[in-house]
Amino acid sequence: MRALRNIRPEWIALTIVVGAFAAACFMVLAPWQLGKNSATSERNHLIKSAVGTAPVPIDEVAPAGKGFVPSTEWREVTMTGTYLVNDQALVRLRSVDERPAIEVLTPFRIAGTDRVLAIDRGYVRPDQSNTPAIPAPPTGETTINARIRASEGTSEGRGARTEGNALTMYTVDPTQLAKATGTPMDPFYLQLSPNQPGSLGEIPLPQLDSGPYLSYGLQWLAFGVMAPLGAGYFIYSEIRQRRRASAAKKAHAAEAADGPDPATPEPATRDDSGLDVAAHHEAAPHLLTRAERRKRMREELRAAAGTTATSAPVDPVDIDGQSPAGIGVGPDTERLSSAVRDKLTERYGG
C-alpha cells in the first residue's frame, strides 16, 4: 500500500502514453513499413524474372476466364486483335519522369474471340486544352506485345466520368472502364511494350530498388523498445531523487532535534605549543594588528591616567598625544603625566 501511495498521476499517464506508442510501433508502424519492403522486394523479383523471359502468347500465361494471377505480373505476352478506339479512356493526374502526364487506356479485342483486354498505350503530356490530341492506334488486326499488370482499383467517388467529350479516369481500373463502356473486360490490364503498334510515350519499368522501407521498419521497432526504457529510466531517476531529498530532510531534522554537536571544539585559548594566546600577545605586541595595538594603547593610557571605559570622555590630545590640527604628529610627552611617559617609554622607547 505504501508503494501505491508513492505513485504519481503523471507516471500513470506517461505509462499509458508510452505503452500505446510502443504497441503502435510493434503492431502498426513497423509491420506497415516492413510489409512495403516485402512487397517491393517481391515486385523486384517478378520484374527481374519477367525481363529475362521471352514473350509468349497470352493464353499460355493468362487464359480467358482465369482472372489475374499475381505471379504472372510483369510477364510479357503477345496477342493479335483490334483496338476499340470508341471505348478509349484518358487517365489523368499521372506522373511520368516527375512531370505531369495523361495515360491512354484503349480496349483491345482478341482476334476470333469476344475477349477484351484494357491496353495502356503510354502517355501524352497535357496542354492548355482540356483534351489533348491523342494519336489514333492502327485500324484492323494487329499484333502487339505487352506486360501484364494488376488493376490499381478505384477509390469511392473517383470512377470513370466524361470530361470535355472524353471518358476520363483517375486510376487504371479495367473494371471501371468496363462499367463505363458496357464492354466486359478481364480484371487486369496490359502495359504496351515500347515500339509497338499504337504505342505512345513509353512508361519505364520501376527501378529495382528496395527503398528505405526496411530501415524505416527497423527504426519503428527500435522506437518501440527505447520508449518504455526511457520512461522507466525517467521514473527511476525521479524516485531516486525523491529518496535523496527525503533522506536529507530526515537528517536535517535529526540534527535539529539533537542540538549543538558536543564534539564541536571551543575557541582555542592556547596555541599548538601550549602557550596562552593572550599572554603571548602581551609579551609580543608586535604580533597584534594595528587596530589591536591602538586599542591596547588607549586602554593602557586610560589605566595609567586612572580612568576607565565608563569615565567621562578624555580629550583626544590626552589620549592619543596628538593635536587635532597636527595629523601625523607623535605623542606630546610634555603634557603627559610622568607615569604615562614612563609607560610609553617602556613600550615604545623614547
Q: How far is CA 320 from the centre of its chain?
A: 79
Residue 300 and residue 62: Cα distance in Å, rounded?
129
Distances (CA, A) of 170 to 42, 68, 167, 228: 26, 21, 11, 44
Least confident stretch, 1-15, 149-163, 181-195, 266-280 = 266-280
Residues 184-234: pLDDT tens digits? 999 999 999 999 999 999 999 887 777 777 788 888 889 889 988 988 888
Q: Are strands 189-192 and 142-149 parallel, antiparallel or unpaired?
A: antiparallel
**Percent of the chain clearing pLDDT 70 (strictly above):** 76
How much of the chain, in percent, has pLDDT values that exceed 90? 36
Span of 196-200, 277-281, 285-289 with lowest mean pLDDT: 277-281
At 141-151, the pLDDT tens digits run 999 999 999 99
pLDDT score of 309 more than 50: no
From CA 233, how far away is CA 118, in angstroms rounded? Answer: 60
Dist CA 349 CA 341 (whole Å): 10
Determine whether 264 is exposed, middle or buried from the number of CB atoms within 10 Å of its CB (0-12, 13-18, 19+).
Answer: exposed
More confident residue, 180 or 300: 180
pTM, full prediction: 0.56
Q: Buried b / exposed e across 10-47, counting CB within 10 Å, b at 16+?
A: eeeebeeebeebbeebeeebbeebbebbeebeeebebb
Tell how far CA 34 is from the center of its chain.
Answer: 21
Q: Measured between alpha carbons, how far is residue 312 from residues 10, 219, 315, 317, 321 in Å? A: 74, 92, 10, 14, 18
Asked whether residue 58 carries a pLDDT value surpassing 80, the answer given is yes
Instruction: Express the helix, strand and coil content of the chain in percent, nearest 5 each.
Output: 45, 15, 40
Ranked by mean pLDDT, the top range of 200-204, 238-242, 262-266, 319-323 is: 200-204
Mean pLDDT, rounded, for 44-65: 90
pLDDT bracket for residue 337 (50, 70, 90): low
Confidence of residue 5 (pLDDT cuts 50, 70, 90): low
DSSP state of 131: S
Break the chain into its structural domains and give their ranges: 8-49+212-240, 75-192, 277-348
Burial 82-98 (b: 16+ CB within 10 A, else e): bbbeebbbbbbebebee
Across 74-78, 237-241, 264-268, 326-330, the highest mean pLDDT is recorded for 74-78
Helix (H, G, I), strand (E, B) or coil at 288: coil
pLDDT at residue 317, rounded to an integer: 44
H, E, C per residue of 40-92: HHHHHHHHHHHHCCCCEEHHHHCCCCCCCCHHHCCCEEEEEEEECHHHCEEEE
First to last CA, the chain: 88
Could you give the CA distance from residue 216 to residue 28 in angstroms, rounded to a whole number? 12
Read off the pLDDT of residues 258-275 as tens digits, 9 standing for 90 and up. Answer: 655 555 555 555 555 555
The residue with greater pLDDT, 132 or 112, is: 112
Residue 320's pLDDT band (cuts 50, 70, 90): very low
Interatomic CA distance for residues 174 and 118, integer angstroms = 6
DSSP conformation letters of 9-45: HHHHHHHHHHHHHHHHIIIIIHHHHHHHHHHHHHHHH
> So what's the pLDDT on residue 258?
66
Place of cell 591616567: 305
At residue 279, the pLDDT reads 56
pLDDT of residue 280: 52
What pLDDT digit, counting tens, does each position of 98-125 carry? 899 999 999 999 999 999 999 999 999 9
Contact 195, 75 (CB under 8 A): no
**What pLDDT, on the 0 to 100 scale, is given for residue 286?**
58
pLDDT for residue 310: 46
DSSP 8-state code for residue 333: G
> Which amino acid belongs to residue 309?
A
Note whether 14 and 238 are within 8 A (CB): no
Backbone φ, ψ for residue 215 (5° rounding):
-65, -35
Per-residue model confidence (pLDDT) at position 108 = 97
The residue-averaged pLDDT of 47-57 equals 90
CA distance 188 to 32: 25
Instruction: Output 74 or 326, whichever has higher pLDDT.
Output: 74
* Confidence at 311, pLDDT banded by 50, 70, 90: very low
Strand partners, 116: 109
What's the mean pLDDT in 85-102?
Answer: 92
Beta-strand pair 116-124/189-192: parallel
